Structure 1
Amino acid sequence: MNKALLGLLLSLVFTSAPALSQEDWPVPDWPQAVDINSPAWRQVQAYAFPPRDEHSREGVRTDALLVIKEGRIVYEHYAAPTTARTPHLTWSISKSVLATVLGVAHSEARFALNDPVARFYPPMQAHPQVRLQDLLQWASGLDWQEDYEYAPLHSSVVAMLYTRGRGDMAAYTAARAVAAVPGQRFLYSSGDSNLLAAALRAMVGPERYAQYPWDALFTPLGITSAVWERDPSGTLVGSSYLYMSARDLARIGLLMLHDGRWQSQQVLAKDWVVFNRTLFAKAVTQPGEANPGGHWWLNQSLPGTGRPWPDAPADTFAALGHWGQALYVLPDEQLVVVRYADDRDGQFQHNELLKRVLAAQAGGRP
């Protein structure tokens, strides 16, 4: 074969071969799209950052909004004093991050979902039937009242975080009475999450416990802003008190978007992510509320209800927190969205924000 013909054949092979897809990862920081914050995002901006009355606690009050499309920042905006470097209080997003840390421990064979909680946390011997899976589905069966502002005198979570339970939050929860058979009823409970945080200590050993979230998850993902408070007993406040910048929280969203994979490393087993994203079918929620999976929230329908966020794809899932904190993952769209906020009323709607984000990026990758 002469050189000219060989060259022609090689040229045809390489020009007709499909281009290999390239994944973008935030190493060391997030790459940005060429037209970040393009005019297409004006309707998102208008909804998320309306004119703000500093003397009023009403209305949509966004502190940070970050949108990642296929590993690149396509939209990012902050309201002072929050910046890209600010470790923001995540409130109950902490619960889903705790579940992600537990996923690493699970891949290390430190526990099984069917293990009784009492195996790792002895005060739960009073409730021997409660399994770790029940806690992860907020179905411990322990009596609990999660209201904050609307019923403070009767609120279990207020008592746990701020008054008689604050010295040892897991012990306070373990002492609660039984209200239902474990695993049979969904009852959202920050106490369930703090029992998980206490159980983690025995799983990994007390000498590794304080550092374990960093060793297992934060450092491998390049997260440098995380601060996680512990109660006076030394237990991580897994329900509520994790602080992290929006860009760092988006790293956890990207990990979940890729089914637990970070670059070439499978940080979480795929079956753990499947569990996180599996609907707890025995749950009963109000219309418009996200439905529970394994310590994450799902845009899936329960019997007799539609999707909580009808304008978002059915595979959308999220970590959600008090006063409007949110980490959304939209696998079909290859989107990760982080919102930090200070909403004190019910005006903000998850579906409305997601609808506008989807419309802004509808043309594909910028």
Structure 2
Amino acid sequence: MKCILLMLASLLLLGCKKDLAAPIAQPGDSLYFPPPGNTWAQISPASLGWNEAALPALYDLLEQKQTKAFLILYNGHIVLERYFGRFTADSSWYWASAGKTLTAALVGIAQHQGKLDIGNRTSQYLDQGWTSLPLAKENNITIRHQLTMTTGLDDATGDADCTQPACLQFKADAGTRWAYHNAPYTLLDKVLEQATGTTFNSYFRQQVGSRIGMDGTWVRVGYNNVLFSTARSMARFGILMLHKGKWQDQTVLPDAAYQNSQISSSQPLNPSYGYLTWLNGKDRHMLPTLQFVFSGSLVPNAPADLFAALGKNDQKLYVVPSKKLVVVRMGESAGNVRMAVSSFDNELWGALNQVIR
């Protein structure tokens, strides 16, 4: 009997030692999806082993660069949240072209629902004559070309935002030229409205906004349809993309193959571009307004697996799957005015690398 008791005691002791040796879960390791409203779980930078001594320099840079809102999430939990000037968590700001990535997600939802096919020609939804091209050339343009910025339409006609047929002129055959051209992208809104039978705002709210607790309204500004929302709502969309279209127990973006294509090289001309989404870590990239191929990745200081929604005047939504991060920056131009990518991307990630370990 004593032998049996001794053996049991030994086994229990070994079990305790095994438990003590097991790694302790980091705060925030579990997936977190914030509920509707302002309640949001937070964790400290110290709990993640980040370098808090580098935070003042990061905040100084953000303030110098006219930032209004800045957030970093780890697995959905807020780690850093800072607002500048009179801007608050309840203030809304424009996404500019960062809204392109959300539009691409809505196209994927519509395709899964059978309301459209990205391989279909655009004229099936906008009718013939939506451009000034000969019919044969116009019929070569598909929704996929709109998603990948390869319509071949001339982006240098004087107003790259103009969606009138007179402004949409032939430059190259569809699929043979990459150019960051707002007009063909903007017309995806009308494609979605024709395909779904509802307004673009309504479709956004039904399919994404209401399902993830996201505020925001698309507002017509000139030819463009621009999303205005709080910084936290931009972060919610980042969480959705980080977790591959899932939100708690529901799948908001149901087409996994489409979503994977959205954050993968969509064509060989500019491998740093997916479906209206910028990609880091590729061997070359192109930039808006330039017909030049640059060597190296888009943001050298950032993780290679980063993908991003980027808008004019440095509206930033970065998603980094390897680090479980979502980073949001809203504000005025950081100084180097660009339509999407700017020198501030690399400068900001240089500062973030001093903080994030």
The answer to whether residue 159 in structure 2 is matched with residue 155 in structure 1 is yes
Aligned to 1:196: 188
Aligned to 1:109: 114
Q: Is the 8 A contact 2:201 2:218 kept in 1?
A: no
Q: Is the 8 A contact 1:41 1:75 kept in 2?
A: no
Aligned to 2:340: none
Alignment of 1:64-213 (within 5 A): 64-123=69-128, 124=130, 126=135, 127-145=138-156, 154-157=158-161, 160=162, 169=163, 172=164, 176-206=168-198, 209-213=200-204
The answer to whether residue 283 in structure 2 is matched with residue 301 in structure 1 is yes
- Structure 1's unaligned 5+ residue stretches are 51-59, 147-153, 161-168, 285-289
Equivalent position SS for 2:58: helix
Q: Is the 8 A contact 1:92 1:240 kept in 2?
A: no
Aligned to 1:55: none
The aligned amino acid for 2:205 is: W
What do residues 34-65 of structure 1 show as CA deviations (whole Å, max 9, x unaligned)? Answer: 35894442221121112xxxxxxxxx211111
Percent identical: 27
Q: Is the 8 A contact 2:238 2:318 kept in 1?
A: yes
Aligned to 1:243: 228
The aligned amino acid for 2:302 is: A
Q: CA deviation at 1:101?
A: 1.6
What do residues 4-51 of structure 1 show as CA deviations (whole Å, max 9, x unaligned)? Answer: 959x77x9499488889621221243311135894442221121112x
The answer to whether residue 321 in structure 2 is matched with residue 331 in structure 1 is yes
Q: CA deviation at 1:304?
A: 6.7
The aligned amino acid for 2:273 is: P
The aligned amino acid for 2:331 is: A
The aligned amino acid for 1:261 is: K
Q: Is the 8 A contact 2:186 2:225 kept in 1?
A: no
Which of the numbers 263, 267, 270 marks the counterpart of 1:277? 263
Q: Is the 8 A contact 1:184 1:282 kept in 2?
A: no
Q: CA deviation at 1:173?
A: 5.2
Which of the numbers 297, 307, 310 marks the counterpart of 1:317? 307
Q: CA deviation at 1:245?
A: 0.6
Distance 1:174 1:72 in 2: 48
Task: Give the TM-score normalised by the residue count of structure 2.
Answer: 0.80
Q: Is the 8 A contact 2:238 2:319 kept in 1?
A: yes
Q: Is the 8 A contact 2:43 2:79 kept in 1?
A: yes
Q: Is the 8 A contact 1:90 1:240 kept in 2?
A: no
Distance 1:203 1:82 in 2: 38
Task: Give the TM-score normalised by the residue count of structure 1.
Answer: 0.78
The aligned amino acid for 1:48 is: L
Aligned to 1:259: 244
The aligned amino acid for 1:30 is: W
What do residues 259-284 of structure 1 show as CA deviations (whole Å, max 9, x unaligned)? Answer: 11112222112212211112244435
Q: CA RMSD in A?
A: 3.1
Aligned to 1:350: 345
CA 277–209 in structure 1, closer or farther in 2 if over 3 Å, else same: closer
Which of the numbers 31, 40, 43 marks the counterpart of 1:23? 31
Distance 1:174 1:97 in 2: 28
Equivalent position SS for 1:292: coil
| Larger Cα-atom Rg | 2
- Structure 2's unaligned 5+ residue stretches are 285-292, 338-342
Aligned to 1:41: 55
Distance 2:151 2:202 in 1: 27
What do residues 296-330 of structure 1 show as CA deviations (whole Å, max 9, x unaligned)? Answer: 01112228711121121211111111111110111
The aligned amino acid for 2:71 is: L
Equivalent position SS for 2:96: coil
Q: Is the 8 A contact 1:186 1:283 kept in 2?
A: yes
CA 318–87 in structure 1, closer or farther in 2 if over 3 Å, else same: same
Equivalent position SS for 1:64: strand
